[in-house]
Amino acid sequence: MPIYRLSIVILKNKINFNRGDDVKKVITYGTFDLFHEGHYKLLERAKALGDYLIVGVTSEEFDRSRGKLNVVDSLVTRIENVKKSGFADEIIVEEVQGQKFRDIKKYNVDIFTVGSDWTGKFDYLNEFCEVVYLERTKDISSTELRNSSHPILRMGIIGTGRIASRFIPESHLVSGISVTSVYNPKKTSADAFAEKWDLNSYSEENGFDEFLSCVDCVYIATPHQFHYDYAMRSMKAGKHVLCEKPITLAKRETEELYDFAEEHNLVIMEGIKTAFCPGFNKLISIACSGKIGTVRNIEACFTKLENPKSRELTDTEYGGSFTELASYTLLPIIKLFGTDYKEVRFDSIKNEKGIDIFTKAYFRYKSGMATATCGLGVKSEGQLIISGTNGYILAESPWWKTSYFEVRYEDPNNIEKYSEVFLKFGLRYELSDFVSAINGNKKNDIKLTKKESVAIAGIIEEFMKTKNQ
């Protein structure tokens, strides 16, 4: 690659040495998209570790292969920005998995260094050189982050549970966003999470308003019953909101959130990750295309065996399988049949506390029917079947990833197979679309519309009204 060879020739002339010289060589890697002060400081600290700094800038192809989304700047631009920092003695291009090991040997590297958000990831390289994890820059100013036509958004996380911990590493693979802060009313929880992920910590002690003043948008990862309050308070402070599913437990509350966002030119998005993943969108497109004829029946099932001591199976008011999982199973039904169902009824199996561990919702539409099955204490085959007048679509468990599905017909030998990548936890897809929406790109709104989110909240509300009967 010409860029690769040229960058080496140009920058190598800075220092003349051979392995006999007492020169400590350092190598680091990164995308360096939308180059900002955090990148500058990382390179500065990397350079300070030795005498000669090699910087590997990832190619577009490699970024795509490892699932990094929303990269804005070209490779040439990113190389030029690294060069302008003045810290790189040599710039190379990272093109393939496993290149780091080969580069360390090729360039006789003494120290490999990356940011602390990758702590432990590259420990295997200790056999070949010293591995140093540099503390990330937590307090980058708004001006520093926004010094470009594509500003880097400062995101705060509300909540410190399991999903929040999955969200952080996913966010590192979406360009244009930087998670900087976390809020939990309990200081001990906020501090522990902040320490683990190198974030600024906020709690009731230093205030929710102070937390909001330091971010541009929030990700809400609290138990369901707190979503509405946190979302509305955040938007009243002018912040965009990405909220975990279900966005609320009531139709009217969901409508209010979306209406407020529209009135104040803000983005609010419900984080049903399946709605944003490539495979599911391909599946829905095929179902809508007429390939299987007219859709007459949909069966969506999502079950898992949850710890009996978990919040989901101990909270008698807001816990249970349907509030936890229904957003997934309702999604294809609402997408394909719409919101105008004629009838919905629920059957549940409950534990000794009266919490549903297995629930089926039965829908009757004018021209079709559907079932949404959710389980936290009963395990079943979690597949999605969409039946039409000419054939059917089968997405096998776990269908909510939609990494593989088949279109089948009357002839058992006639099977069309489809596959799409579903990367890690899948949260990067919704975050990527969220960032794009904030930057003015509304083309992905169709993946999960206001009408669909409101309808899902309304169905969950209907279930909650009947669950004690």
How far is Cα 442 from Cα 238, in angstroms, rounded to an integer? 19
Task: Decide if pLDDT at 45 tops 80.
Answer: yes
**Same domain assignment for residues 85 and 109:** yes
Cα–Cα distance for residue pair 413/288, rounded to 1 Å: 23
Pair 41, 75 in one domain: yes
Q: Check pLDDT > 80 for residue 142.
A: no
Given pLDDT bands bounded at 50, 70 and 90, which one contains residue 421? confident
Interatomic CA distance for residues 23 and 7, integer angstroms: 21
Question: Which residues does residue 154 pair with via DSSP β-bridges, in sequence order?
Answer: 178
In a domain, 318, yes or no: yes
Per-residue confidence (pLDDT) for residue 468, from 0 to 100: 66
Per-residue pLDDT tens digits for 286-326: 999 999 999 999 999 999 999 999 999 999 999 999 999 99
- With respect to residue 89, please indicate whether it lies within any of the assigned structural domains: yes
Short-list 426, 466, 468, CA closest to 447: 426
Mean local confidence (pLDDT), 400-418: 95
Higher pLDDT, 430 or 440: 430
Q: Are 261 and 337 found together in one domain?
A: no
Domain match, 111 and 198 both? no
Same domain (yes/no): 392, 305? yes
Residue of 103, 10, 125, 16 lying closest to 57 (CA atoms): 103
> For the domain that residue 193 is a member of, what is the CATH number?
3.40.50.720
In a domain, 443, yes or no: no
Given 252, 271, 290, the domain boundary residue is 271
Q: Is 255 inside a domain boundary?
A: yes
Are the CB atoms for 68 and 175 separated by under 8 Å?
Answer: yes
Domain of residue 50, CATH code = 3.40.50.620
**What residues pair up with 188 in beta bridges, in sequence order?**
none
Considering 244, 271, 298, which residue would you say is the last residue of a domain? 271
Whether the per-residue pLDDT at 148 is higher than 60: the answer is: no
pLDDT at 29 exceeding the cut of 90: yes
Residue 336 and residue 257 share a domain: no
Alpha-carbon dihedral sign for residues 258, 259, 260, 262: positive
Which tens digits make up the pLDDT trace of 366-387? 999 999 999 998 999 999 999 9
pLDDT band at 116 (very low <50, low <70, confident <90, very high): confident
Q: Are residues 339 and 306 in the same domain?
A: yes
Mean pLDDT of 207-222: 97
Q: Are residues 55 and 28 in contact, defined by beta-carbon separation less than 8 angstroms?
A: yes
Q: Looking at the structure, do residues 147 and 210 belong to the same domain, yes or no? A: yes
pLDDT of residue 417: 95
Identify whether 212 is part of a domain.
Answer: yes
Residue 164 sits at the vertex; the CA angle it makes with 158 and 165, to the nearest 5 degrees, is: 140
Same domain, 226 and 158: yes
What is the pLDDT of the chain when averaged over all its residues? 90
CA distances from 288 to 212, 295, 369 (A): 41, 8, 16
pLDDT band at 451 (very low <50, low <70, confident <90, very high): very high
193-207, 353-367, 441-455: lowest mean pLDDT where? 441-455
For residue 343, how many C-alpha atoms fall within 13 Å in the half-sphere facing its CB?
8
Task: Indicate which CATH number applies to the domain containing 405.
Answer: 3.30.360.10
My answer on whether 283 and 413 are in the same domain is: yes
Please report whether residue 60 resides in a domain. yes
SS3 annotation, the chain: CHHHHHHHHHHHCCCCCCCCCCCCEEEEEECCCCCCHHHHHHHHHHHHCCCEEEEEEECHHHHHHCCCECCCCCHHHHHHHHHHHCCCCEEEEECCCCHHHHHHHHCCCCEEEEEHHHCCCCHHHHHCCEEEEECCCCCCCHHHHCCCCCCCEEEEEECCCHHHHHHHHHHCCECCEEEEEEECCCHHHHHHHHHHHCCEEECCCCCHHHHHHCCCEEEECCCHHHHHHHHHHHHHCCCEEEEECCCCCCHHHHHHHHHHHHHCCCCEEEECHHHHCHHHHHHHHHHHCCCCCCEEEEEEEEECCCCCCCHHHCCCCCCCHHHHHHHHHHHHHHHHHCCCCCEEEEEEEECCCCCEEEEEEEEECCCCEEEEEEECCCCCCCCEEEEECCEEEEECCCHHHCCEEEEEECCCCCEEEEECCCCCCCHHHHHHHHHHHHCCCCCCHHHCCHHHHHHHHHHHHHHHHHCCC
Mean pLDDT value of segment 61-88? 85
Which pLDDT belongs to residue 36? 80
Residues 224, 346, single domain; the answer is no
Instruction: Look at residues 32, 58, 23, 49 and name the one whose alpha carbon lies nearest to residue 111.
Output: 49
Same domain, 174 and 311: no
Residue 431 lies inside a defined structural domain of this protein:
no
- Find the domain containing 231 and state its range: 143-271
- Higher per-residue confidence, 147 vs 129: 129
Query: Which among 86, 105, 134 is the end of a domain?
Result: 134
User: How many separate domains does the chain show?
Assistant: 3
Instruction: Report if residue 442 sits inside a domain.
Output: no
Closest CA to 251 of 366, 353, 330, 188: 330
